[in-house]
Amino acid sequence: MTSQLPVDDRLASPDADRWRDPGLRPAERADALIPLMSLEEKAAQLVGLWVGADASGEGVAPHQTELVEHIPPWPEAIRYGLGQLTRPFGTAPVDPVLGARSLAASQAQIVAASRFGIPAQVHEECLTGFAAWRATVYPAPLSWGAAFDPELVAEMAGRIGRSLRAAGVHQGLAPVLDVTRDYRWGRTEETIGEDPYLVGTTGAAYVRGLERAGVVATLKHFAGYSASRGGRNLAPVPMGRRELADVILPPFEMALRLGGARSVMHSYAEIDGVPVAADEELLTRVLREQWGFTGILVADYFAVRFLQTLHGVAADAGEAARLALRAGIDVELPTVDAYGPPLVAAVRSGAVDEALVDRAVRRVLIQKIELGLLDDGWQELPADVEELRLDDDASREVALRLARHSVVLLRNRDGLLPLAADQRVALVGPLADDPMAMLGCYSFPLHVGPQYPKHETGVEIPSLREALHRLHPRLTHVPGATITGDDSAGIAAAVAAASDADVCVLAVGDRAGLFGRGTSGEGCDAVDLRLPGVQAELVRAVLATGTPVVLVVLSGRPYALGAAVDDAAAIVQAFFPGQLGGQALAEVLTGEVNPSGRLPVSVPRHTGGLPGTYLSPALGRRTQVSSVDPTPAYPFGHGLSYTTFDWTDATATAGPADPTAEPGGANGAGGAAGEPAGWAVDGEVTVGVTVRNTGSRAGADVVQLYLHDPVAQTTRPVVRLVGYARVPLEAGAAARVTFVVPADVTSFTGLHGRRIVEPGEVQLRLGRSSDEIATTLPLRLVGDEREVGHHRQLVSRVRVEPAAVPAPRSRQ
């Protein structure tokens, strides 16, 4: 693609303005522009620049960081153009309107400084909402998983995307699609859960919402990041290619195919000794050649230089740039470094083929053209910028609804919850009156706010105490302890308060932060799963009072709760439920809201015996050959309600559903008596069940469909999720839930490294959790072993329809 003509001669040719023609396809416009560009101009499109918006509204300034040796001054940095602007809103508190004006002023300077007038693509963090001052803070991703409600996640992402676009941002660095493998990892709070199907379907919904709003969604971290040894951030990943293919990669496939994501961020991980940033097999052959991804691949922050400084596979920045470009990384983030002067020098010396630069810049330009950045009508400043509000009533309503759906009731002995209006309640614990207990580490107040302690938070975040007092005034409050530290002096006061109350609500858990400034979050890994500080001691002391205890856990990971599992009267789990999480928790505790969340991660019984999730083969569970019992206290998918549900008329029939058929039959299988029904290896099976609310109040149940493969050519998880449906029902109402399950979802990586659908007997199990199975439906996959690839069917189709109320049958 590099022309042999001098640049000035190319600009004088009749076709020099062809790249401006909006009638051409984006690829044609990019191909017309690249030969006109100098090496420096092309390299400039492959880097970001970390900036912070000026509170005056007049521009941005480069963000200095110790991880980069030299950041050029602004005029020098934009001399040849600029690929991306990094987090102009997410670096310091700035009024949104003034921030948008500063960004627009910077874009005007970028356009004016370079020959081709190409604006920068602007990206921001958006995992729990637009990571900007005064922007709505939504629940953290573990809460998305707990809600089992992809459509609500898509609605949230749509609101996030519209706020980003209104501020002049083009790309969001979310969602995180890492599948939880070790709860000790600090970034567990950023994951959606421990099951790839739940992660993939929920993550794809987030992508749909963001992309439909016109914002480029960025999938991260591709791949393997969450499987680090010991749960330590950036530690080596001891993982085989089969686990990578069957557990880690499917969510990314779903988000690309079902969500339409246009960007991917690679992970910091090294897998079996190969850093992902230099892994051509994963980033090019799998992602692009096998999966057909055509968007841009961006570097995680500083990761190109890390090939030299941390991994030791490059001698200098130029070699690091060569390895990353060859692997397939198009854009270096967050700021110009290895892809700047070191890359230009390496190309000029012949160490790096300029064709690699052209390949990357072509992808960058195509995406900018698709975003309209190279069109004559593009404007730096949104027309309605004065109306820009990042935290409005509609956004808060969605945040509250998602928080409500995500609260998980783990235990409710003798129906202690909801709290009675006349009960005297003692609210104790270090999380009871801490607004920050509601937020994840990538929320603006915790990600950036600690650097500006004199600046107000920007959004209202009621604590649990504030929210509960509004609904239950008979409340006394004693902290009892801090989140971290070894000071137990306050426990006696907490014990006294609990002893004088009818019920004690004890709030424990995490404080999110970064790199050791919290107990959860990036760089805040845990040695084990004990509650931080003296919180476990506080729990034991309060339980010993004999007062009924409601244990509320606000955390970014599941914790082993010790005696509380058996001795607490009730246990409620929330995973950083966002700025209105305190209200959602108070509503659940008082019965204003019926809890409907389900665990996206198992809650362990013991602090050791790690790592382990529910996705284990038989020998990964309790056995007679090991003294360690990994059985969780509460399994994946578990969650209780204040009402009761009855499931009846479970059926499984080969082929798509017949809407006129009546439920019934011997498991509805349709085979000979006692024989499993046939299921073609390239076909579908339809599973149905009727769910009835048998209680006295409205509620939502979550029907979960699991696959059990008893005999396979490689060991398989005892069960794994292949479908689910959230079913809201009024008291006495019923619904028919139907899953159309393609045989493709039974596929796995076989002995020879190929993904196959293997014939043989399997079971589809309808469960209230991964451990509580209501109905088992035996089936037989029939036909020859079948190889499937990226274009296989990835999910089961689900339909929920009103049903006639069946004869009552109580659930025990």
Residue 417 is given by DSSP the state P
Best CA proximity match to 543, nearest among 412, 428, 423, 418: 428
Mean pLDDT, to the nearest integer, of 224-252? 95
d(CA 516, CA 720): 34
Give 68 or 565, the one with higher predicted confidence: 565
Residue 55, pLDDT > 60, answer no
Question: pLDDT tens, 714-740?
Answer: 999 999 999 999 999 999 999 999 999
Taking a C-beta distance cutoff of 8 angstroms, is the pair 544, 538 a contact? Answer: no
Beta bridge partners of 726: 702
Q: What is the 3-state secondary structure (H, E, C) of 626-680?
A: CCCCCCCCECCCCCECCCCEEEEEEEEEECCCCCCCCCCCCCCCCCCCCCCEEEE
Q: Position of tokens 């995406």?
A: 367
Read off the pLDDT band of 16 (50, 70, 90).
Answer: confident
Question: pLDDT tens, 154-200?
Answer: 999 999 999 999 999 999 999 999 999 999 999 999 999 999 999 99
Question: pLDDT tens, 404-462?
Answer: 999 999 999 999 999 999 999 999 999 999 999 999 999 999 999 999 999 999 999 99
Kindly state the percentage of the chain with pLDDT values over 90.
86
N-to-C CA span, the chain:
70
Give me the helices (H) in 544-658, please.
564-567, 581-590
Residue 787, pLDDT > 70, answer yes
d(CA 400, CA 579): 8
Read off the pLDDT band of 11 (50, 70, 90).
Answer: low
pLDDT at 657: 58
Q: Position of tokens 């998980």?
A: 408
Q: How do strand 425-428 and strand 475-478 relate by DSSP bridges?
A: parallel
Q: What is the SS3 assignment for 216?
A: strand
pLDDT at 58: 57
Residue 331 is given by DSSP the state B
Q: Which of 297-311, 357-371, 375-389 bottoms out in mean pLDDT, i.e. has the lowest?
A: 375-389
Mean pLDDT, to the nearest integer, of 778-799? 97
Read off the pLDDT band of 806 (50, 70, 90).
Answer: low
Mean pLDDT, to the nearest integer, of 663-681? 62
Read off the pLDDT band of 668 (50, 70, 90).
Answer: very low
Q: What is the SS3 assignment for 22?
A: coil
Mean pLDDT, to the nearest integer, of 487-503? 97
pLDDT at 663: 42
Q: What is the SS3 assignment for 47?
A: strand
pLDDT at 70: 74
Best CA proximity match to 513, nearest among 435, 430, 438, 441: 441
Mean pLDDT, to the nearest integer, of 103-107? 94
Single pTM value for the model: 0.95
pLDDT at 12: 60
Residue 13, pLDDT > 80, answer no
pLDDT at 189: 98
pLDDT at 71: 81
pLDDT at 669: 44
pLDDT at 60: 52
pLDDT at 406: 98
Question: pLDDT tens, 682-700?
Answer: 999 999 999 999 999 999 9
Mean pLDDT, to the nearest integer, of 530-559? 97
Mean pLDDT, to the nearest integer, of 288-301? 97
pLDDT at 36: 97
Torsion angle of C-alpha atoms 365, 99, 167, 120, degrees rounded to 10 = 0
pLDDT at 675: 82
Element spanning 250, H or E? helix 250-254
Read off the pLDDT band of 51 (50, 70, 90).
Answer: confident
The mean pLDDT value of the chain amounts to 93
Beta bridge partners of 580: none
